[in-house]
Amino acid sequence: MTQLALVIDLNVCVGCHACVTSCKEWNTAGAAGPMGDQNPYGADPTGTFFNRVQTFEVGEFPNTETVHFPKSCLHCEEPPCVPVCPTGASYKRKEDGIVLVDYDKCIGCKYCSWACPYGARELDEQQQVMKKCTLCVDRIYDMSMDEADRKPSCVKACPTSARLFGDIHDPESVVSVAIRESGGYALMPEWGTHPANHYLPRRKTRIKIHEDELERADNPLKVDRQLPKPAMSEPTLDDVTTW
């Protein structure tokens, strides 16, 4: 079994929205398109996107941290949006686990969007069908592209390599290793949807320095009091004068 997924590293995402624009650019012209915009240059523009980058502030000033949070369909392993679809337009592919919408079968009843706790689905106002991330299914199998290009458009666009793409059921894939070794987690685990997409947490590099690493507690000269004890402010020579 294959389950393709994205792993998004919140530690390196800088919130540049390059994934948002490249997603829209590729998909509005691709098999999932068009992704219509309404009133794009007016006061209240709106439109269909498969991917959004949101920003959250964690903590209270001055101990705050800004978290940029890319959000798209998580391609759940137990997708709650699929069984509720009355027409079968929403489906999960057996071969690679991608959750897709058949735009020719969708009646635009919006029920699947109610059944998604993540708000990953958006009704296209122009086409009146439900749309969502396809993991660029029209790119990743396109043999006319270089192998390096057979990745979702957002992954290709990310300037900080915050987005990884691969099969989370293959234990040696780059995504599985990242999830396993860098603390990858799923969103809203309380609903049992088992999202395929995972997020890597913010990480801080800290070193723990113990006091005895600064001061040689076991220095025999010091223990035997054979040398005078210099003041803290004086220069020291290890094993000659001691601290």
> Which residues lie near other proteins (CB under 8 A)?
17, 20, 39, 44-49, 52-60, 66-67, 69, 71, 80, 82-89, 105-111, 113-119, 121-123, 125, 127-129, 185-191, 199, 201-202
Q: C-beta of 80: minimal distance to other proteins in Å?
A: 7
C-beta of 122: minimal distance to other proteins in Å?
A: 4
Residue closer to other proteins, measured from CB, 12 or 115: 115
In angstroms, rounded to a whole number, what is the distance separating the alpha carbons of residues 222 and 225? 5
Closest CA to 195 of 79, 26, 107: 79
Q: Where are the beta strands (DSSP E) in 61-131?
A: 63-72, 90-92, 99-101, 122-124, 129-131
Least separation in angstroms between residue 99's CB and other proteins is 15
- As a whole number of angstroms, the distance between CA 145 and CA 174 comes to 21
Compare residues 28 and 127 and give the one whose CB is closer to other proteins: 127
Residue 75 CB, nearest approach to other proteins (Å): 16
Comparing CA positions, the residue from 64, 22, 37, 33 lying closest to residue 151 is 22
Which is nearer to other proteins, 43 or 209 (by Cβ)? 43
Count of CB atoms situated within 10 Å of the CB of 164:
23
